[in-house]
Chains A and B, each alone.
Chain A
Amino acid sequence: AQRVTQPEKLLSVFKGAPVELKCNYSYSGSPELFWYVQYSRQRLQLLLRHISRESIKGFTADLNKGETSFHLKKPFAQEEDSAMYYCALPQGTGKLIFGQGTTLQVKP
């Protein structure tokens, strides 16, 4: 079965430290993966997607098919990055399989 795993429920770092939010998936084929983010009191929104290969708000994510991972990285964390982050795998149209989410806490 297709599955997305985010092993860390909480990741706490200091401002300016590097951040890596882990995401592993199980999927047969070439997956398209997304990272969604939910800031406090805001709705869930797309942060970035593999197909775009772009950097958003300093975050990047590289698909590693050998390790079946799509980790989200940022070299220098900012306090405004504190939020809940979800890795998601599309399964057909209109359906996303989400990981359990990781809360990123950036301390001053």
Chain B
Amino acid sequence: KAGVTQTPRYLIKTRGQQVTLSCSPISGHRSVSWYQQTPGQGLQFLFEYFSETQRNKGNFPGRFSGRQFSNSRSEMNVSTLELGDSALYLCASSRGGDQNTEAFFGQGTRLTVV
């Protein structure tokens, strides 16, 4: 079956702009999580959605937001971009049953803010 798909793969944006990233989970998976990966901070959790509801949230400013649609696809939005937002953004999907459920990761969206 198809894996987790993230679009676009690469993005270049200017400071102050906003950006929307998309994630299509594995069919049947209802949980979608987002992570930011940078060389300095590593992998950091942004938020998780399950059945269109945000269940868990990391320590990121309000400029980072997300949503999930009824088909479990998820989008992540970053407003008023800063240079420090340059990172690889990873999406992961799982069945969402409990915390021991395996997470399947997408290949990521590489965001560069100039």
Q: Which residues of A contact B (CB under 8 A)?
A: 32, 43-46, 49, 51, 86, 90-101
Contact = CB atoms under 8 A, between A and B. Distances in A.
A32 B106 CA distance: 23
A91 to B, nearest CB: 7
Contacts of A32: 99-100
Given A32-B99, A43-B3, A46-B102, A93 B48 contact: yes
Interface string B15-44: 000000000000000011101000000111
A99 B50 contact: no
B58 interface: yes
B56 A94 contact: yes
Contact of A86 (B43, B50, B96): B43
Interface of B: 3-4, 31-33, 35, 42-45, 48-50, 55-56, 58, 90, 92, 94, 96, 98-108
29 contacts: A32-B99, A32-B100, A43-B3, A43-B4, A43-B106, A43-B108, A44-B90, A49-B100, A86-B43, A90-B99, A91-B45, A93-B56, A93-B99, A93-B101, A94-B48, A94-B50, A94-B94, A94-B96, A95-B33, A95-B48, A95-B99, A96-B33, A96-B35, A96-B43, A96-B45, A98-B42, A99-B42, A100-B42, A101-B43
A62 to B, nearest CB: 17
Contacts of A97: 45
Contacts of B90: 44
Main secondary structure of the interface of A (DSSP, over half): loop
A101 B43 CA distance: 9
A32 B102 CA distance: 12
